[in-house]
Amino acid sequence: MGALLDKIEIPSDRFELRLSGSGGQGMILASVILSEAIGASDQRNVTQTQSYGPEARGGASKSDVVISPNEIYYPKAMQLDMLLAMTQESLDSYFPNLKEGGTLVVDTTLVTEFPTDNYYGLPFTQLAREDAGHIMVANVIALAAIAQLTGIVSREALTNAVLKRAPRGTEEKNKKAIDIGFTEAAKLKKG
Amino acid sequence: MATATTSEKAKQKSDIFLKYLRPRKGMPSVWCAGCGNGIVMTAIIRAIDKLGLSKDNIVMVSGIGCSSRMPIYLDFNALHTTHGRALPFATGVKFARPDLKVIVVTGDGDALAIGGNHFIHACRRNIDITAILINNNIYGMTGGQGSPTTPSAAFSTTTPYGNAEKHFDPSALAAASGASYVARSTVYHATAMEKLIGEAISHRGFSLVEAVSNCHTYYGRLNRQGDPVTMINSFKEKSVQVTKAKKMSPEELKGKIVIGKLHEVDTTEFCDVYQSTVDRLDGRK
Amino acid sequence: MADRKRVLVMGNHAVVEGAIYAGLNFYAGYPITPSTEVAEGCARELPKIGGRFIQMEDEIGSIAAVVGSSVAGAKSMTATSGPGYSLMLENIGYAYMTEVPLVVCNVQRGGPSTGLPTKVSQADTMQAKWGPHGDYTAIAVAPSTIEDTVTETIRAFNLAERFRTPVTILLDEVIAHSRAIINLPEPGEIDIYNRVKPTCSPEEFIPFEMTENLVSAMPAYGEGYRYVVTGLTHDPMGFTTNKPSEIFPKLDKLRNKIMNYREETVKIRTEQMEDAEIAFVAYGSVSRAALQAVDLARKAGVKVGMVQLYTIWPFPEKQVKELCANCRKVIVGELNMGQIVHEVRRVLPGDIEIHTLQRYDGEILTPLQLLEKLEEVL
């Protein structure tokens, strides 16, 4: 590292988060819903990018969201403020990109080894299957937990965005998922 | 009215041609003397004249080859395109302006070799285009190379020891691919050809008229088939009307040219179906 | 509609938004990653506004249908990626020769051949200039964000109609598949240019007339002007010619109608170039990394700026020369083995050091990589 690079600081007006898991867990859709929720509720800028490729068919899947009140120059994440890892593989791959003091949220249904003690763990997949009534809404529970933990988007805006994208007939399950996410995350914060 | 004299009749005939030949474009054409392309062009002119279509509403599209020069000589909207691609260009014209009559003039190499994929898909779509495929069994413009309709064992400059390949039957290919009107004629049967072209143009859907023609310059010379008159007369001898052909065995039909309306089905046309979707969605933004 | 104001849009759908704003009413295409969402967007939106969408049997047929529809009066486009763009070239050349306005969006992916269908590249930069055989002058634009994908698509249509020529949008996979919250332009906010139609009678009509600005009036089929459109070299009447005295003016027309008015094609964004000693020259998604690098390096006290090319072809040589005149060093960042750098080298004086940063592994250049390069050349 040279003199210039030592002086570089990633601008603090950017909030960068990565939603990661395996293909089929709805990480890209979750990032789209989160982006739409922010876009519909306030004037912040949002960019969403994704890894797109063979891994979108079952392998590792990730989607980045960058939020800033100012013009977002580089649309991809540079140093994560928050990482959601739904699988062991995604946690292992992306934990090094999380900045010091960044927020780590983990699905404890599937993750068994943790690189740090400083994380929020909730069994999103199990909660989806057992409490919300469908494994498909694990991503929505995770989104709600993230909203609760970081405050990046209001519950109302998130609910509207989720319902806008929810297939007909799944509205109640999705509302329940949001409720579970907020409630369980609040418990974690207290604890 | 008194019967017209022979010279008056001749004048009437030439008046028709003058009406449809493009002004300010000097003849002669690129076609060899005795080429069947002229007979096909005449049949097209007569058919269109009988139908009373406005020249402004006709678009003639072609690719590359001898027959593909025709749109330049005729006084319609002309689109002389790239080799093999006349049908997709025509598809763009027709789909953008379904009110226009779109006629494609193509050859056996243009339509069936380089343009083979476009040919079957235009048939499949059943888009309202009339394709007139002048089949002379050889590439004329580039100087006598084998084409997809060059018969097995026939000679061309690229099959100097006889063609090792089999040939396409363009009409059967079109019918099997979904064309809703298919007819065949030869340059000997000029009047029948005119009638079939008229039917094809009036048909709503994809129509093909296969016009069997002579390339005495290359095919005829390389295969010892004689001068234009001999070749054109041989079409008369080889041709069998479709009604008669139905009663003949495959052996009896070997080497024969089955002529007439070969195939016609009443089915929906692509632009019409799309338009019904547009109408259904109107204003739904 | 009120909720159209701030919306989350994917890059490929931004092409559709821009195109429809510009008056697109005909799309023909063939699915290919990473451009397919453009086709899907057009399939969904065009019939709602009375437009036409058709999925052709291949890319050759797609561009052929686009040319046919444009001659018939439509505003027309297709979108594809490297392999499909390669297949289209012959008929894009036909459109140069016959002076048919149309837009081709090439969402670039890694090559050559099938290459990297889902990975980013800028390696078709030169192909957009020299793709089809023969002599002609090409116009190509390169958006860098979702928002300017909308505006650059509109600009591509305006340039196509203004100059009666094909225009290529060089998009790349990163922009194509990212999303952003953007403000869509309001109706009337951006001027739309439409091709000039003849005002004379059909008898007086000269289809490829040498007008003052060398762009001839273009009627649609069915409007009574029955003329010949041919890919053979032709005289002003549209008739084929082999005469040197007619070939020269036709080919000069293809070049000069654009080059005599090239200032109309230029669009550039500059960032902190007023006192810059070092400049990044970039286009497409790389310019966003460069913008970030400039911002970060400025905060660390380095006098660096950026010249972003929205217009790639004709290369904006006068502007690049003037903007970089006071720089000691220029860094050209590209997602290829070095394409636009040859143009930069050609136009800048020899005393300006030119450095390159090239990535062709399917990944985007990051701000950090640009900063590392900056540090190296400081």
* Whole-angstrom distance, CA of residue A83 vs CA of residue A75: 17
Q: Which residues of C touch A45 (CB under 8 A)?
A: 180-181
Mutation choice for A interface testing from C35, C175, C178, C288 by most A CBs within 10 A: C178
Q: Which residues of B touch C231 (CB under 8 A)?
A: 80-82
* Whole-angstrom distance, CA of residue B272 vs CA of residue A10: 58
Q: What is the pLDDT of residue A12?
A: 84
Q: Tell me the shortest Cα–Cα distance from A143 to chain C, in angstroms.
A: 18
Cα separation values, A14 from A10, A31, A98, C81, C297, Å: 8, 16, 14, 32, 17
The structural domain count of chain C equals 2
* Tokens at C266, concatenated: 């230029």
Q: Is the peptide bond before A69 cis (omega within 30 degrees of 0)?
A: no
Complete domains list, chain A, with CATH: 14-190 (3.40.920.10)
Mean pLDDT confidence for B16-27 = 84
Q: What is the pLDDT of residue C2?
A: 43
**Domain membership flag for residue C216:** no
Q: What is the pLDDT of residue A60?
A: 76
How many helices (H) and strands (E) in chain C? 12, 16
Selecting from B24, B117, B278 the residue whose C-beta is nearest the C-beta of C58 gives: B117
HSE at residue B146, side-chain half, CA atoms within 13 A, is 20
Tell me whether residues B78 and C220 touch, CB distance under 8 A.
no
Confidence of residue B213 (pLDDT cuts 50, 70, 90): very high
Q: Which helix (H) or strand (E) holds C228?
A: strand C228-230
Spell out a b/e string for B97-128, using b for 16 or more CB atoms within 10 Å of the CB, else e. Answer: bbebbbbbbbbbbbbbbbbbbbbbbbbebbbb
Q: What is the pLDDT of residue B112?
A: 98
* Whole-angstrom distance, CA of residue C67 vs CA of residue B92: 7
Q: What is the pLDDT of residue A55?
A: 47
Determine the distance from the C-alpha atom of residue C222 to the mean position of all C-alpha atoms in its chain, rounded to a whole number: 30
Q: Which residues of C touch B59 (CB under 8 A)?
A: 72, 221-222
Q: What is the pLDDT of residue C1?
A: 39
Q: What is the pLDDT of residue B2?
A: 52
Q: What is the pLDDT of residues B151-195, one digit of tens each?
A: 999 999 999 999 999 999 999 999 999 999 999 999 999 999 999
Closest chain B residue to the Cα of C238, Cα to Cα: B72
Domain with C118, as residue range(s), is 2-183
Mean pLDDT confidence for A135-159 = 96
Mean residue pLDDT of chain A comes to 92
* Tokens at A16, concatenated: 């960068």
What does DSSP say about strands B181-186 and C6-10: parallel, antiparallel, or unpaired?
A: unpaired
Instruction: Concatenate the DSSP letters of all residues of A15-83 into one string.
Output: EEEEEEEETTS-HHHHHHHHHHHHHHHSS-EEEEEE--SGGGGTSEEEEEEEEESS--SS-S-SSEEEE
* Tokens at A174, concatenated: 């999705």
- ipTM confidence: 0.97
Mean pLDDT confidence for B48-66 = 97
The answer for C227, left when phi > 0, alpha when psi is -120 to 50, beta otherwise, is beta
- The enclosing domain of C116 has a CATH number of 3.40.50.970
**Domain membership flag for residue C15:** yes
Residues 14-33 of chain B with CB under 8 A from chain C are 22, 24-25
What backbone torsions phi and psi does residue A84 show, to the nearest 5 degrees? -105, 125
Nearest CA to A57 out of A90, A95, A25, A18 is that of A25
* Whole-angstrom distance, CA of residue B21 vs CA of residue C203: 15
Residues of chain C with pLDDT under 50: 1-3
What backbone torsions phi and psi does residue C181 show, to the nearest 5 degrees? -80, 120
pTM summary value: 0.96
Same structural domain for residues C16 and C125? yes
Tell me whether residues C299 and A9 touch, CB distance under 8 A.
yes
Quick check: A63 contacting C, CB < 8 Å? no
Quick check: A47 contacting C, CB < 8 Å? yes
| Other beta carbons within 10 Å of C317 | 15
Residue ranges in C168-285 assigned as alpha helix (H): 173-176, 244-259
- The enclosing domain of C292 has a CATH number of 3.40.50.920
Task: Kindly tell me if the per-residue pLDDT of A2 is higher than 70.
Answer: no
Residue C274, burial from CB neighbour count under 10 angstroms (0-12, 13-18, 19+): exposed
* Whole-angstrom distance, CA of residue A189 vs CA of residue A146: 11
Q: What is the pLDDT of residue B285?
A: 55
Please, do chains B and A touch (3+ CB pairs < 8 Å)? no
What backbone torsions phi and psi does residue A164 show, to the nearest 5 degrees? -65, -35
Q: What crossing angle do the helices spanning B37-51 and B6-20 adopt, rounded to 10°?
A: 90
Tell me whether residues C56 and B284 touch, CB distance under 8 A.
no
Same structural domain for residues C24 and C164? yes
Kindly list the domain boundaries of chain B, sorted by start residue: 31-281
Q: What is the pLDDT of residues A4-57, one digit of tens each?
A: 888 888 888 999 999 999 988 999 999 999 999 999 888 999 999 987 555 445
Same structural domain for residues C166 and C296? no
Nearest CA to B60 out of B243, B231, B201 is that of B201
* Whole-angstrom distance, CA of residue C97 vs CA of residue C93: 6
Please, do chains A and C touch (3+ CB pairs < 8 Å)? yes
Q: What is the pLDDT of residues B26-36, one digit of tens each?
A: 678 899 999 99
**Domain membership flag for residue C245:** no
Selecting from C57, C68, C222 the residue whose C-beta is nearest the C-beta of B117 gives: C57
What does DSSP say about strands B239-241 and B257-264: parallel, antiparallel, or unpaired?
A: parallel
Closest chain B residue to the Cα of C27, Cα to Cα: B92
Q: What is the pLDDT of residue B283?
A: 62
Tell me whether residues A38 and C181 touch, CB distance under 8 A.
yes
Q: What is the pLDDT of residue A53?
A: 52
Q: What is the pLDDT of residue A9?
A: 86
The full length of chain C comes to 378
Give the CA diameter of chain B.
Answer: 66
Task: Kindly tell me if the per-residue pLDDT of B73 is higher than 80.
Answer: yes
Residues 70-129 of chain B with CB under 8 A from chain C are 71-72, 75-82, 85, 87-97, 99-100, 117-118, 121
* Whole-angstrom distance, CA of residue B79 vs CA of residue B256: 35
> B31-281 sits in which CATH class?
alpha beta
Same structural domain for residues C10 and C109? yes
**Domain membership flag for residue C234:** no
Residue B28, burial from CB neighbour count under 10 angstroms (0-12, 13-18, 19+): exposed
* Whole-angstrom distance, CA of residue C230 vs CA of residue B284: 39
Closest chain C residue to the Cα of A9, Cα to Cα: C296
Q: Is there a contact between C85 and C124 (Cβ–Cβ < 8 Å)?
A: yes
Cα separation values, C79 from A175, C108, C110, C171, C341, Å: 39, 11, 16, 10, 26
Q: What is the pLDDT of residue B11?
A: 78
* Whole-angstrom distance, CA of residue B173 vs CA of residue B131: 13
Q: Is there a contact between C366 and A79 (Cβ–Cβ < 8 Å)?
A: no
Q: What is the pLDDT of residues B262-282, one digit of tens each?
A: 999 999 999 999 999 999 997
* Tokens at C378, concatenated: 């400081």
Instruction: Concatenate the DSSP letters of all residues of B210-236 into one string.
Output: EEE---IIIIIHHTT--SHHHHHHHHH
Tell me whether residues A11 and C296 touch, CB distance under 8 A.
yes
Tell me whether residues A75 and C297 touch, CB distance under 8 A.
no
Q: Tell me the shortest Cα–Cα distance from C288 to chain A, in angstroms.
A: 5
Domain boundary among C183, C203, C231: C183
**Domain membership flag for residue C230:** no
